[in-house]
C-alpha cells in the first residue's frame, strides 16, 4: 500500500506553505477549496492538463495544505484548515481574504 506524502501538522514548514501558495494556479485551487469544500480533482475547471493539475495538488499536499481521500476512481480533495490554523494561526484566513475569497 502506498503511503501518501502528507506531513503531520507539527512538521509543516512555513516556507513550503508560502511557496505552495505563491503560484497563481495553486492559489486559485485553494481559493475554490475554501469556497466550495471537498471536491474531486477533475471538477476544478482550471486551464491546465490533468498532469499539471496533479502536480500542483502534489505540491499542495506535500506542504500540508490539502488532504486527499480516495473513493472509487475519484480523489476527493479538501483543505486542511484545522491543521493549518493550529500550526499557523490566522495565516490561511489572511491569505484567503487577500485572494478575494469569502470569509470563513
Nearest CA to 65 among 80, 87, 44, 86?
80
Pick 40 or 99: Cβ nearer its own copies? 99
67 lies in the site for DNA, by CB under 7 A: no
Extended strands (E) in the chain: 39-40, 66-71, 74-79
Q: Which stretch binds its own copies (CB under 8 A): 1-9, 17-25, 44-52, 70-78?
A: 17-25
d(CA 33, CA 78): 6
88 is an interface residue for its own copies by CB under 8 A: yes
User: What is the smallest separation between the CB atom of 96 and its own copies, expressed in angstroms?
Assistant: 10
Is residue 86 a contact residue for its own copies (CB under 8 A)? no
Which lies closer to its own copies via its Cβ, residue 75 or residue 93? 93
With beta carbons less than 8 A apart as the criterion, state whether 60 and 12 touch: no
Residue from 21, 29, 34, 79 in contact with its own copies (CB under 8 A): 21
Terminal CA-to-CA distance of the chain, rounded, Å?
36
Interaction between residue 16 and its own copies (CB under 8 A): yes
Amino acid at each position: 500500500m502506498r503511503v501518501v506524502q502528507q506531513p503531520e501538522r507539527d512538521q509543516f514548514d512555513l516556507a513550503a506553505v508560502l511557496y505552495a501558495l505563491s503560484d497563481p494556479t495553486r492559489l486559485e485551487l485553494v481559493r475554490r477549496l475554501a469556497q466550495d469544500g471537498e471536491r474531486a480533482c477533475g471538477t476544478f475547471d482550471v486551464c491546465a492538463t490533468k498532469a499539471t493539475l496533479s502536480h500542483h495538488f502534489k505540491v499542495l499536499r506535500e506542504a500540508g495544505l490539502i488532504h486527499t481521500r480516495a473513493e472509487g476512481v475519484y480523489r476527493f480533495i479538501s483543505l486542511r484548515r484545522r491543521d493549518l490554523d493550529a500550526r499557523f494561526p490566522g495565516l490561511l484566513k489572511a491569505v484567503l481574504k487577500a485572494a478575494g475569497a469569502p470569509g470563513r
